[in-house]
Amino acid sequence: MAAAPIAAAPTIAATTTVPLEQRVLEKNDRLAARNREWLANRNIFAVNLMSSPGSGKTTLLERTVREVARSTPVSVIEGDQETALDSWRLRAAGCRTLQVNTGTGCHLDAAMMARALRELDPPEGSVLFVENVGNLVCPALFDLGESARAVVVSVTEGADKPLKYPHMFRGADLLLLNKVDLLPYLEVDLAAFERAVAAVRPGLAPMPVSATRGDGLADWYAWLRDRQAQNRQDPQSREDPQHRQDTQRRRDPQRLAR
């Protein structure tokens, strides 16, 4: 007896979901613009640090806070679904922190950022790090009003991440390749990773670092100093052409599949 055909799973056409996504993102971007203005008026340099879980961004922040705090006040907005574990670690490193727990949410958004800014009230002329929820998908789509975006990827995650999660890499101002101290013990195709990055974000060169051993962190600190100086001259400089192009791609129903 022939097996009965398997019925296709019900689907929802993309055209029914795109308008809702557009409205959500447009509202978020309006709030993000207000956050960006708030930060600019106070000369605060804000870095949105994004990655998948376990990439080492909290360890990176611990070392970074100790370095940056030598010359500039530092604050951190810490995003996680639950617990304040990372906030405690960063507070012990010597900075003011504010924990934002998203519950079932997979990212921070501009409204959360606005509330956090009001409560944390970082001092004028300071550096603010936002450690986003560990996720390579949703955080890429939600502008917080930050001055710059830094994406952290560890060498253990594979060379295909830029191709699988292109929005995250297209919107990055800096790409940190972490855990390079593990390279002697892994089979990692760095050339394939660099090709994947170039395919989705031409001109974005990975910066190799080891947050545990300290390799490459001098370059990371130099980048922060340079971008902070640039931010003082042009606080709205985050709206670069690549960011605008990616924003348009996510909103245009005809381009969502490209």
Could you tell me the residue ranges of all domains in the chain?
A: 25-248
210 pairs with which residues across the strands?
Answer: none
Q: Each residue's pLDDT tens digit in the chain (258 positions)?
A: 454 444 444 443 444 445 656 777 999 999 999 999 999 999 999 999 999 999 999 999 999 999 999 999 999 999 999 999 999 999 999 999 999 999 999 999 999 999 999 999 999 999 999 999 999 999 999 999 999 999 999 999 999 999 999 999 999 999 999 999 999 999 999 999 999 999 999 999 999 999 999 999 999 999 999 999 999 888 766 554 344 455 444 444 333 333
CB 43 within 8 A of CB 36: no
Q: Which CATH architecture has domain 25-248?
A: 3-Layer(aba) Sandwich (3.40)
DSSP 51: E
Question: Residue 203: how many CB atoms within 10 A of its CB?
Answer: 7
